[in-house]
Chain A
Amino acid sequence: MTFTEKQTDPTSEMHWLGDMQADYFYPNGIAGDKFFKHLKENDSFLATKCKKCSKVLFPARLYCEDCFTEIPGENWIEVPASGKIRLFTIAKLDAHGEKMKEPKIMALIDIEKTNGSILGVINSNDYEKDFSGVQVQAVLRPKANREGTLKDILYWE
């Protein structure tokens, strides 16, 4: 025993409720801003090619983290908003650990012509199908409603 007394009455006051609530505003950054502004006007993505290691980084970055060099403006390239599903999982739980109304098919999609990928939701309720390797296309919001966030990609199919 490390104390002289401990809680022995289970009905006594036991916990104190509180929060750490705040709202968060994330500027999309130098590269992110360019990426999302492009997405607002076009139906394609931007990627960046490192001039040293020639990797095509997706999503677009300001710098290549492996070579640690800045990526110049002319190395920005346009890539189609489509790709192949590398991995997928059928998620049944929400963040509270409770069952969602409908399971969601979450996937990691390799974007064409790049060395990168993106997380996405697959628009399907076929929970038996093997989606690996399936070609998918991003479905975007109508141009008028786009706000310049990842939410502009509604889902993939």
Chain B
Amino acid sequence: MEEKKKDWPPYAPGTHLRESDIRDKKITYTWWEPEVQYAWSLGPAMSKFLKGLKEGKIYGIHCKRCKRIITPPRMFCEYCYGPTEEWVDLPDTGIIETFSISYLDPDARRIEDPILVGVVDLDGTPPHHGFMHYFGEMTKDEIKIGMKVKAVWKPENEREGSITDIKYFKPYKGGGD
């Protein structure tokens, strides 16, 4: 079939707009700034978790059917779809599951001092269970997957019931440190 061999798409429609076209006002445009604000209700699980952080504790919750302690906690288990129960006070130590050395801020601006960030696999939970946080008291050359870490908490009077009540996780040798 002759037609079949046609090169398609023959072209790509569209008008490229360069940053300079916008800056020099070669085109007209409309701006808008919406007001987009929320107050998400916290259910029992998240409330308890955040209140725990304020007290310097990391709570997990038990799914007895799956024999799994999960944190961040939730009121149901996604594997068996049953309700979870029995709160567990977890240690604030773990290992680095994975990490990144970031030179970007949230709006993709460049920053000089890189942020060390990653996932902590918390002790007392099944493997690969934890949450994301910052790492500190280590350099970008020292950080490694599998490294043992321990939470550094904000002073008690500065804690407000947020994930940022933990300042970061620092290297940890074990024992009474």
Asked if residues A32 and B40 are in contact (CB atoms below 8 Å), the reply is no
Chain A, interface residues (CB within 8 Å), range: 20 to 34
Work out how many contacts link A and B, with CB atoms closer than 8 A: 91
Chain B contact surface mostly: mixed
Bound CA–CA A3/B77 (angstroms): 11
B85 within 8 A of A: yes
User: A3 touches which one: B39, B46, B76 (CB < 8 A)?
Assistant: B76
Question: Given A3-B75, A12-B51, is A149 in contact with B30 using a C-beta cutoff of 8 Å?
Answer: yes
B105 within 8 A of A: no
Interface size on B, residues (CB 8 A): 31
Contact residues of B between 8 and 47, Cβ < 8 Å to A: 15, 17, 22, 27-44, 46-47
Inter-chain contacts of A36 with B (CB < 8 A): 28
Output the least CB separation between B142 and chain A (Å): 34
Inter-chain contacts of B85 with A (CB < 8 A): 4-5
B118 within 8 A of A: no
Inter-chain contacts of B43 with A (CB < 8 A): 7
B151 within 8 A of A: no
A150 within 8 A of B: yes
Inter-chain contacts of A32 with B (CB < 8 A): 28
Binds B, one of A23-31, A111-119, A123-131, A136-144: A23-31
A55 within 8 A of B: no
Question: Given A4-B84, A27-B27, is A18 in contact with B40 using a C-beta cutoff of 8 Å?
Answer: yes
Question: Given A25-B31, A37-B28, is A15 in contact with B41 using a C-beta cutoff of 8 Å?
Answer: yes
Bound CA–CA A16/B35 (angstroms): 17
Chain B 61-84, CB-CB to A under 8 Å as 1, else 0, gives: 000000000000001100000011
Interchain Cβ contacts under 8 Å between A and B, 28 examples: A4-B83, A4-B85, A7-B43, A13-B47, A13-B51, A14-B41, A15-B39, A15-B40, A16-B46, A17-B38, A18-B37, A18-B38, A18-B39, A18-B40, A19-B36, A20-B36, A21-B33, A21-B36, A21-B37, A23-B33, A24-B31, A25-B31, A26-B29, A33-B28, A37-B28, A147-B28, A149-B28, A149-B29
- The chain A residues found within 8 Å of chain B, CB to CB, are 2-7, 12-21, 23-28, 30, 32-33, 36-37, 40, 95, 147-150
- In order of increasing CB-CB distance, the 9 nearest A-B pairs are A148-B28, A4-B85, A20-B36, A36-B28, A15-B39, A26-B30, A3-B75, A149-B30, A13-B47
Given contacts A25-B31, A26-B30, 5 further A-B pairs with CB under 8 A are A4-B85, A15-B42, A21-B37, A25-B22, A40-B28
